[in-house]
């Protein structure tokens, strides 16, 4: 039995992490994975584009490379994209949709 003052961390099954900059994405994905349940958890890397704009293909390709790198490091991660009128709305909508 754990002592009363010891805190047992709760591990999430799904961790949504917004990513926009490929240079910082792998660090964010690794941090998100630390919050996830090691057996049943997964990370969803979210790339939001503003409505009316096209996805920046070069950034998207670089993020795909980061996702491959994370997968090679045995982090179960999926890249999802969302179009929204604002970045905040895209994050909130994706969080609501994916629970």
Rounded CA-CA distance 79/35 in Å is: 17
Q: Over the stretch 10-26, which tens digit does the pLDDT of each residue have?
A: 677 889 999 999 999 99
The reported pTM is: 0.81
Phi, psi of 59 (to 5 degrees): -65, -45
Answer yes or no: are the C-beta atoms of 45 and 21 closer than 8 Å: no
pLDDT at 92 over 60: yes
- For 27-63, the pLDDT digits (tens) are 999 999 998 888 888 999 999 999 888 777 888 899 9
Cα 22 to Cα 1, 67, 96: the distances in Å are 43, 10, 24
Secondary structure letter of residue 47 according to DSSP: E
Quick one: pLDDT band at residue 2, thresholds 50, 70, 90?
low
């Amino acid at each position: 039995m754990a002592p009363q003052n010891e805190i047992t961390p709760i591990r999430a099954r799904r961790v949504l992490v917004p990513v926009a900059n490929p240079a910082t994405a792998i660090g964010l994905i690794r941090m998100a994975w630390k919050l996830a349940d090691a057996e049943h958890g997964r990370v969803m890397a979210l790339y939001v584009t503003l409505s009316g704009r096209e996805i920046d293909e070069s950034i998207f390709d670089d993020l795909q490379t980061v996702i491959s790198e994370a997968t090679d490091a045995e982090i179960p991660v999926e890249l999802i994209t969302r179009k929204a009128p604002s970045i905040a709305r895209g994050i909130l909508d994706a969080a609501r949709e994916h629970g």
